[in-house]
Amino acid sequence: MSRERLYLFDTTLRDGAQTNGVDFTLHDKRLIASMLDELGIDYIEGGYPGANPTDTAFFAEKPKLEHASFTAFGMTRRPGRSASNDPGLAALLEARADAICFVAKSSAYQVRVALETTNEENLASTATRKIQNLRWPAPRRLTNPARAGWSCATPMVARCRTRSQPSSLRW
């Protein structure tokens, strides 16, 4: 019987930083990343490059990790922009990271309220061919098409997931 490999993806440095009263310094982030690496975590999501000065500085110099893939988090592209003309996407591509976890809204409510766009434009933003065509040396590109909506079994979730599957992106 073959065993499947389980990959551990830690979001402490991004999601944990959103906790009320938590404000990681650059030193904190480097220290925590080192500890997570020692624990054997496969992917350490370091934050969202360009979102704040600490995350930008953290991704300016890749931490020395023995095991983990240092991962940047961010959006595929903003609605109404091309992939080549999106400053948020540019910050991701400039980050010193081993992988990028692209987030895509898959809840129709989130698309309408948070992104203030249509489902069709959101799906166009998640069309991974646009991301695949960007030149980026990192070997791993991950996608999280279900963020903010996976628990809702809706056609939108399935359409977002389908859009991310044909490319080299991994879930």
Q: What is the domain-level CATH number for residue 46?
A: 3.20.20.70
Write out the residue range of the structural domain in which residue 111 sits: 9-164
* Number of folded domains that form the chain: 1
Q: The tokens of 54 are what?
A: 């600490």
171 domain-assigned: no
Residues whose CB is less than 8 angstroms from the CB of residue 104 and which lie 6 or more positions away in sequence, other chains included: 75, 76, 122, 125, 126, 143, 144, 145, 147, 160, 163, 164
114 domain-assigned: yes
50 domain-assigned: yes
Quick: pLDDT tens for 100-126: 887 776 777 878 887 788 887 777 776
133 domain-assigned: yes
Highest mean pLDDT among 29-38, 104-113, 130-139, 144-153: 29-38
Tell me what pLDDT residue 129 has. 45
- Do 22 and 16 form a contact (C-beta atoms < 8 A)? yes
**Where residue 131 falls among pLDDT bands split at 50, 70, 90?**
low
d(Cα 91, Cα 48) in Å, to the nearest integer? 9
Residue 163, pLDDT > 60, answer no
Quick: pLDDT tens for 49-93: 999 999 999 999 999 999 999 999 887 777 777 777 888 888 888
157 domain-assigned: yes
35 domain-assigned: yes
49 domain-assigned: yes
135 domain-assigned: yes
- Of 114, 83, 104, 112, the C-alpha closest to 160 is 104
Give, in order, the Cα–Cα distances in Å from 71 to each of 6, 108, 118: 17, 27, 29
